[in-house]
Amino acid sequence: MDPFYDTIIIAEKPGVAKAFAYSLSNPGRPKIISINRITLYSFKYKNKKILSFGVSGHILNFDFQKKYNNWKNTDPRTLFFIDPIQIVRKGSWKYYDTLRKLSQKTNHVILALDADVEGESIAFEVMNIMKKYNPNIKFDRAWFSAITKEDILNAVDNLTKPNPNLANKAFARMIVDLTIGAAFTRILTLMIEKRSNVLPRGKFISYGPCQTPVLYLVVKRALEREKFKKKKYYSLNAKLTNGIKIFNAVYYKEKIESFEEANSILNRIKNTSKATVIKADYTTRNILPPEPLNTIELERRCSRFLNIRPQETLNIAENLYQDGLISYPRTETTKYPKTINLIKIAKKFIDYQDIGPFVRKIISTKISPRQGSEDDKAHPPIYPLKNLPKDKIIQKYGRKGWNIYNLVVRHFIATLSKPAVIEKQKIIAKIKNEKFIIEGLKIIEEGFYTVYPYDKPSENILPYLLPNDTLEVIEIKIIEKETKPPPYLSESQLLKLMKKYGIGTDATMQDHIQTNIKRKYFVVDKKRCIPTPLGKILTTSLYETVPEIVEPEVRGKMERKLQKIAEGIVEPNEVIQEIKREFLEYYDRLRENEEELSKKLIKALITVYSNEYEKRVSRRYQNYKDKQRKRR
């Protein structure tokens, strides 16, 4: 018998489809069936026969018609004047085919995609595919802000209609990104290939409205570093003691310009044996626990605390999520939803590592979790779901997997913990008339640091002194110092800047870093981003002619224009044309400077690809000689 479903629910990922099935199924549990190796859930809800399953993100993508995809025969400029077409993504045919089959088996579909513009655009992809095979289907939208039973029931009881404005914003973004990226990547690559064969087969010079501003941020810092001129300066250090402990005191002026000045101060005080305390400040300060974890913070902390690269962090987190150890790892949210039972989750960790007793104490008191302010309305912050022993986790996910899992668990417990209390200690002592400063730090209450030692400050406890107390001077000396250039940008700082400028999304930020590495524009060494000569030349020479396409603000400006589509203020095509016109102007300006630009790029390319270049030349020479030999 061919089953007919009253309703088919389509989610963005299998996990959500499963949550819908288990939240709604009544009576009984959902039955699992399989089409094209996709898992689907069949169940009853309010006496209706329902089927749910997840497509994995987008099913369709934009591309140019085939005839425009030959780089050599197509002037990249023409890409600004044609409309890309939607195609089925590689690997998405099984979802396409499943939608086609199922469109014959229902007249009602609930679009349960994520509550954001990408989710809405996937909803329209689903609708357009299914309508083609069954024009009678009625479509509703389930809009839910957390994947909990309560939210799911609420969404299903309050269905809305899909919003084309949101979807069109996402489609417009896809179109302009493809057009701009392809046009600039092709022209940059072709201008090199026309003049040189330094680019190995399959390599190209790319441009993208996310990747290039990321490179700019890295190069900008490297140039500041290169331009930096070191300067010598002097400081005075004094060793003082109260008879019990020895303290390091530094001269109150951080920098003394000349040795002579430092020396004259030293001469004035060097025979003094006593220092007098003139001020002693002990101020306590609360340090709040960290905010609930979102993707970018997970990546930044794993980079800083664990020295794991963002891309690997997200990969491992995805695996931990797939196996049900942690919640969904791609989220902007830093605020626990009201529907989440924090105590229940914490209870799972009452025997975790060495922090069990601490966790027991937390759940026996009234907790008020630390809350952030970001909410993507689709996913909760990242938190642990299961307590598994260390050796099991290491066995399956490696040491890095354990370290990341352990961070997620401890971070979660930390957000439920009390603030730490520290005491900042500052003593000012006078040697004759010269002021010296001693600084100390004492941890009064460990608070969340008990479970979260990663950025716990180190203690340096000073005794409690009072004004007019006397200290012995052990020695005073002049220290010669040098001003330091700014360090290369760390990956953690880079992520923070990307967020500040709105470059990329939680799920893609690490991709944009990775693209630059793949293109040999920069490398990451010891957590720091160091540009290659190619990356530097590409950025600086593009910046000289078309700063507008390199500046970190590019993406944000584009985003604001696209946002008007979502708000229904401007027609999508109007925005698409406006952005295309703007970038066409930049494109033309770039071409005017093609000669100079390509010369510079070729020079830099040789440094990056010299090995490969030489190998290729020698291989060709070898071929030539082989042929000659055969002829003889």
Residues that bind DNA (CB under 7 A): 12-15, 54, 56-58, 61-64, 69, 71-72, 89, 91-92, 114, 116, 118, 173-174, 177-178, 180-182, 185-186, 189, 193, 199, 202-204, 206-212, 318, 322, 330, 504-508, 511-512, 515, 555
**How near is the Cβ of 496 to DNA at its closest, in Å?**
16
Q: Whose Cβ is closer to DNA: residue 94's or residue 304's? A: 94
Taking the alpha carbons at both ends of the chain, their separation in whole angstroms is 77
- Whole-number Å distance between alpha carbons of 164 and 572: 10
Inter-CA distances, 475 with 154, 193, 243, 277, 430, Å? 73, 67, 14, 17, 14
Burial class of residue 415 in the structure, from the number of CB atoms within 10 Å of its CB (0-12 exposed, 13-18 middle, 19+ buried):
buried
When the beta carbons of 116 and 375 are compared against DNA, the nearer one is: 116
Closest approach, Cβ 412 to DNA, in A, equals 21
Of 292 and 329, which has the nearer Cβ to DNA?
329
Judged by CB, which is closer to DNA: 178, or 428? 178
Contacts by 454-461 with C-beta closer than 8 Å and gap 24+? 454/301, 454/304, 454/305, 454/407, 454/410, 455/304, 455/305, 456/420, 457/422, 461/425
The distance of closest approach from Cβ of residue 504 to DNA in the complex, given in angstroms and rounded to an integer, is 4
Q: How far is the CB of 455 from DNA (least distance, A)?
A: 28
Residue 307 φ/ψ, nearest 5 degrees:
55, 45
CB nearer to DNA: give 439 or 551.
Answer: 551
Which of 91, 135 has the CB closer to DNA? 91
Burial of 433 (0-12, 13-18, 19+ CB in 10 A): exposed
Q: Which residues, in sequence order, are bridge partners of residue 522?
A: 531
Taking the complex as a whole, the smallest distance from the CB of residue 515 to DNA amounts, in Å, to: 5
Separation of alpha carbons 367 and 382, rounded Å:
19
Looking up tokens 């040697």 gives 431
Question: How far is CA 264 from each of CA 237, 260, 473, rounded to the nearest angstrom?
Answer: 14, 6, 18
Across the beta sheet with 31-35, what order do the strands follow? Answer: 31-35, 38-45, 48-54, 7-11, 108-112, 138-141
Matching residue, tokens 């946002």: 563
CB of residue 326 vs DNA: minimum separation in angstroms? 13
According to DSSP, the β-strands at 246-251 and 232-241 are antiparallel
Q: Which is nearer to DNA, 87 or 288 (CB)?
A: 87
| Pick 310 or 504: Cβ nearer DNA | 504
Least separation, in Å, of the C-beta of 505 and DNA? 4
Closest CA to 588 of 549, 623, 534, 617: 549
Provide the minimum distance between the beta carbon of 536 and DNA in the complex, in angstroms, as a whole number: 18
Minimum distance from CB of 318 to DNA (Å)? 4
Element (H, E) at 44: strand 38-45
Residue with Cβ nearer DNA (135 or 202): 202
